[in-house]
């Protein structure tokens, strides 16, 4: 099985690749560059190979980077991974969230009656659903919260915005910028998608002094140390079921 893991920035990709390195003293190949300047790193585990992509920040960049990699390689699974904001108290700093739904939270239209998502407008999908069993197993193995992850183009920075998102998506666990773009590209190629986020800050007023980016990156590494075998096992079962 071969999986594509899409991150936004190099620090996230390095954290994922470290978690997928069986023997840290003997690291795998150095990143190579795809057309468009995208960096991609290969890691091999028993039963599964991972390509870890630096796709860029935001849903549009993530979709473009993911689509480029998918057009150049054959994959069975796509994973959006990185750090993000957590909705307290369900997703505290340093915790992990695995998406049971990948939601385009600000793609749509503002109306006098409130926000209307793009699906309600008749212009596509607002939500992508990861495979139910895979998401549940990933959350259980990593100790993550299983909840919707919201994709936004503008990161939340006020209490009012956080309250608005929480009211529209009361079960949301985390907010990030790339998951929906990754999921759109995966769907265009007919591939299942998963999203995992490590919480670096609370969704709400922007306070960089309170961010714990290092802790979140460490949690991302720890998550992928246990996630690799889970994905390999799921891939074997998935392949067997489709024979």
Q: In this structure, what are the phi and psi dihedrals at residue 109, rounded to the nearest 5 degrees?
A: -140, 140
Which pairing describes strands 193-202 and 174-176: parallel, antiparallel, or unpaired? unpaired
> What pLDDT tens digit does each residue of the chain (243 aa) get?
999 999 999 999 999 999 998 876 766 778 899 999 999 999 999 889 999 999 999 999 999 999 999 999 999 999 999 999 999 999 999 999 999 999 998 887 888 878 877 888 778 889 999 999 999 999 999 999 999 999 999 899 899 999 989 989 999 999 999 999 999 999 999 999 999 999 999 998 888 888 899 999 999 999 999 998 899 888 666 665 555
Q: How far is Cα 37 from Cα 55, in angstroms, rounded to an integer?
A: 9
């Amino acid at each position: 099985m071969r999986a594509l893991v899409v991150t936004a920035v190099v620090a996230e990709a390095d954290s994922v690749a470290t978690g997928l390195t069986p023997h840290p003293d003997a690291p795998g190949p150095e990143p190579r560059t795809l057309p468009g300047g995208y960096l991609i790193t290969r890691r091999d585990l028993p039963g599964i190979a991972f390509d870890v992509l630096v796709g860029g920040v935001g849903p549009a960049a993530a979709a473009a980077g993911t689509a480029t990699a998918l057009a150049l390689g054959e994959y069975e699974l796509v994973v959006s991974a990185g750090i993000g904001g957590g909705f307290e108290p369900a997703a505290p700093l340093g915790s992990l969230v695995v998406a049971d739904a990948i939601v385009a939270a600000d793609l749509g239209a503002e109306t006098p009656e409130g926000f209307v998502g793009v699906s309600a407008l008749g212009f596509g999908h607002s939500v992508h659903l990861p495979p139910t069993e895979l998401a549940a197993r990933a959350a259980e193995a990593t100790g993550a919260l299983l909840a919707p992850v919201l994709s936004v183009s503008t990161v939340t920075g006020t209490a009012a915005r956080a309250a608005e998102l929480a009211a529209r998506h009361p079960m949301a666990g985390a907010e990030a910028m790339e998951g929906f773009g990754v999921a759109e590209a995966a769907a265009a190629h007919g591939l299942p998608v998963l999203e995992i986020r490590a919480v670096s800050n609370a969704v709400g007023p922007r306070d960089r002094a309170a961010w714990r980016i290092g802790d979140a990156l460490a949690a991302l590494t720890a998550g992928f140390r246990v996630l690799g075998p889970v994905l390999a096992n799921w891939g074997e079962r998935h392949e067997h079921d489709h024979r």
